[in-house]
Structure 1
Amino acid sequence: MDALDDLDLRVSGCRACPRLVDWREEVARTKRAAFADQRYWGRPVPGFGPPDARLLIIGLAPAAHGGNRTGRMFTGDRSGDVLYQALYDVGLASQPTSVAADDGLELYGVRVTAPVHCAPPDNKPTPGERETCRPWLVQELRLLRPTVRAVVVLGGFGWQATLPALAEAGWRVPRPRPAFGHGVRIGIDGSDGSVGGGGPEGLELFGCFHVSQRNTFTGKLTPAMLREVLSTAARAAGLGK
Structure 2
Amino acid sequence: MIFASSPLPESEPPRDCPLCPRLVALRADMRRDHPDWWNAPVPAFGDPAAWLAIIGLAPGINGANRTGRPFTGDAAGALLYQTLAKFGLSEGTFDGRPDDGLALKGAVVVNAVRCLPPGNKPTPEEAHTCRRYLAAPVAALPAARVFVALGQVAHQSTVKVLGGKLPKARFAHLAEHRMPDGRIVIDSYHCSRYNQNTGRLTAEMFEAVFARAVSLRGAAV
Secondary structure in 1 aligned to 2:90? coil
The aligned residue for residue 29 of structure 1 is 32
Secondary structure in 1 aligned to 2:177? strand
User: Are residues 1:54 and 2:43 paired?
Assistant: no
Task: Report deviation, 1:67.
Answer: 0.4
The aligned residue for residue 100 of structure 1 is 97
The aligned residue for residue 18 of structure 2 is 15
Specify whether residues 12 and 166 from structure 1 end up closer, same or farther in structure 2 by C-alpha distance, changes over 3 A only.
farther
Preserved CA contact (<8 Å) 1:155 1:210: yes
The aligned residue for residue 173 of structure 2 is 182
Q: Aligned AA for 1:82? A: L
Distance 2:56 2:95 in 1: 16
Distance 1:151 1:176 in 2: 18
Preserved CA contact (<8 Å) 1:61 1:114: yes
Distance 2:124 2:58 in 1: 12
Distance 1:19 1:181 in 2: 29
Question: TM-score, normalization: structure 2?
Answer: 0.89
The total of aligned residue pairs comes to 213
Preserved CA contact (<8 Å) 2:70 2:109: yes
Task: Report deviation, 1:237.
Answer: 2.1
Secondary structure in 2 aligned to 1:163? helix
The aligned residue for residue 135 of structure 2 is 138
Secondary structure in 2 aligned to 1:157? helix
Distance 1:26 1:175 in 2: 35
Preserved CA contact (<8 Å) 1:25 1:43: no
What pairs up with 1:197-208 in 2 under 5 angstroms? 202-208=182-188
Specify whether residues 93 and 162 from structure 1 end up closer, same or farther in structure 2 by C-alpha distance, changes over 3 A only.
same
User: Are residues 1:4 and 2:1 paired?
Assistant: no
Compute the RMSD of aligned alpha carbons. Answer: 1.9
Q: Aligned AA for 2:149? A: V
Question: TM-score, normalization: structure 1?
Answer: 0.82
Distance 2:199 2:211 in 1: 19
What pairs up with 1:114-133 in 2 under 5 angstroms? 114-133=111-130
Percent of aligned pairs with the same residue?
40
> Given the alignment, which residue of 149, 152, 156 partners 2:145?
149
Distance 2:62 2:28 in 1: 12
